[in-house]
Amino acid sequence: MNENTKHQTPNTRKASSAKHQSRNGAADGTLVFGIWCFFGVWCLGLGVSAASGLKTKTQHVLELLRLYESRNVTFIEPDDSWPIVWERACGVHVWDAEGKKYLDLTAGFGVAATGHANTRVVKAGQQQMERLLHAMGDVHPHALKAQLARELSRITFERWRVSLNPSTVKSLNRVPVQRFNDSTVQRAKTIFCNSGFEAVETALKTAIMATGKRGIIAFEGAYHGLGYGALNATHREHFRGPFRSQLGQFAHFVPLPEAGQASRLTQKTSDDCLKEIQEDRRGACPTRERVEDCIQRLFRREQIGAILCEPIQVRGGINVPPPALLPLLRRLCDEHRALLILDEVYTGFGRTGKWFACEHNEVIPDLICLGKALTGGFPLSACVGRADIMDAAWPPSNGEAIHTSTFLGHPVGCAMALAQIKEIARLKLVRRSATLGRVLLEKLSALRATRSTLSISCRGLGLLAGLEVRYPGGSPATKVALQIIKTMIRRGFILLPEGEHANVISFTPPLTITERQLENAVAALAEVLNHE
């Protein structure tokens, strides 16, 4: 008993006890009341949310895009079921704004060759940001621009001269333009750009500067970018049509012979010399001989300074030409003193199981366009050409470059590109792409559609593959292909449609993907394919 209570009488203690009970009761009542109020507000909130529609993070982002981004950029389903909103990515996986995990079978348009957010590549970028975030590309350079230009020379023309067979290397001694000396033939020189289409446009400028001829030959189904220069060589009418009146129209399109399948391109070209081929094609694949004849006639009729070609058409539908095509183009360019430009923006840096896709055919181009996987995620591209040709095309700078840009050879991009090239080599990703590419094609080839209303076929090279979905009559099953892709994303797999009719399901995963992950993806695709 404490001092305050030992002198209390029983009556005063009783009163005191009652007073305490009253206070405790009031406190309990207040607590209960508070709980009920909270519960009521929570229920009311649910009711309001149900009535007004509580927005997820994804829906909030998509609503902002509807309001503030040009409506022609991002396709958004009315029910917000497409697209997902990327929150973060690491390795072969992507997480959306709600935290759901996906296996990325696109590598972000083929960019993340060494995996998303590769630790060494990211670190190189971060360290460069702290040291030098921006430089004056064509005025006061930084060291990494020079180092990357040297590295690109080493892994292209210098390596090709050593590794390819002697008959192939002889093409380096051609003289399509004035040759300066043997050392310039053995090296490459680079003009850095930001996006892939800029690298293509730089190559087109190089061609006319070196040869004095404005015309180029490109292929049906080609996609070289959407800038006004590259758009001349991009074939699909969807991209060219609205701007045709403003285009230079210096490209002449020829059919692309496709390996092991009929050519199903339906868009007509305006070139008169192709009419015979178009009329006689009747759905069959144009032969190498007929394509050669068409190109020869264009060389005789037009001032052709270059042939521009993708070793594999990715956006065109994973169209793989026959092995004889690139050697044919090399021979024709040599014969007519034109430049062979290869657009390897998508196929470069191990994607097809070689460092560059042209190596499958042992063909050395005059100019090669690089981008996407060059940095693993930073906007940087490059037009890399034989040094003698680059010197013949571009005069020494007098203080004002003819072709340049504010962010030319950006220091962060150069740092990341150097790290990316080292990672591709360190992880042996080129060999890995070749090995896993064979596994992927084997698994895709085994797929069968249980529905008699569908016909599927696959094609590809390395970790670049496509599954084409058609109806038995041959028409593209676009709706089915798109529905398959949407179902796959709900199951946690990111895929993209390719081709003019969006009926080719493409696979361009990070080169770090495992065989088990590929097997799981194809197994899921098999289930979806048989239920769509």
User: Once rounded to an integer, what is the mean pLDDT over residues 9-28?
Assistant: 48
User: Once rounded to an integer, what is the mean pLDDT over residues 374-396?
Assistant: 98
Q: Which two tokens stand for residue 7?
A: 């002198």
Can you give the pLDDT at residue 183?
55
Model confidence pLDDT, tens digit, residues 474-519:
999 999 999 999 999 999 999 999 999 999 999 999 999 999 999 9
- In angstroms, the CA 354 to CA 347 distance is 9
Q: Between the ranges 4-18, 251-265, 426-440, where is the mean pLDDT highest? A: 426-440
Can you give the pLDDT at residue 33?
47
User: Once rounded to an integer, what is the mean pLDDT over residues 340-365?
Assistant: 98
Q: Can you give the pTM of this predicted structure?
A: 0.85
- In angstroms, the CA 497 to CA 525 distance is 14
Q: Which two tokens stand for residue 94?
A: 């992507």
The domains of the chain, with CATH numbers, are 86-114+429-529 (3.90.1150.10), 119-426 (3.40.640.10)
For residue 392, is pLDDT > 50? yes
Pairing mode, if any, of strands 93-96 and 86-90?
Answer: antiparallel
For residue 38, is pLDDT > 70? no
CB 149 within 8 A of CB 190: yes
Chain centre distance of CA 211: 31
The count of C-alpha atoms lying within 13 angstroms of the C-alpha of 377, restricted to the half-sphere facing its C-beta, is: 22
Can you give the pLDDT at residue 48?
40
For residue 51, is pLDDT > 80? no
Can you give the pLDDT at residue 179?
44
Can you give the pLDDT at residue 381?
98
**DSSP strand E in 361-495: where?**
367-370, 381-386, 455-460, 465-470, 493-494
Can you give the pLDDT at residue 287?
83
Mean pLDDT, rounded, of the chain: 87
Can you give the pLDDT at residue 517?
98
Can you give the pLDDT at residue 37?
47
- In angstroms, the CA 305 to CA 338 distance is 5
Model confidence pLDDT, tens digit, residues 170-204:
555 554 554 444 555 589 999 999 999 999 999 99
User: Once rounded to an integer, what is the mean pLDDT over residues 20-40?
Assistant: 50
Give, in order, the Cα–Cα distances in Å from 480 to each of 451, 469, 508, 532. 12, 8, 20, 7
Percent helix, strand, coil in the chain, to 5, is 45, 15, 40
CB 444 within 8 A of CB 455: no
User: Once rounded to an integer, what is the mean pLDDT over residues 418-436?
Assistant: 98
- In angstroms, the CA 407 to CA 379 distance is 10
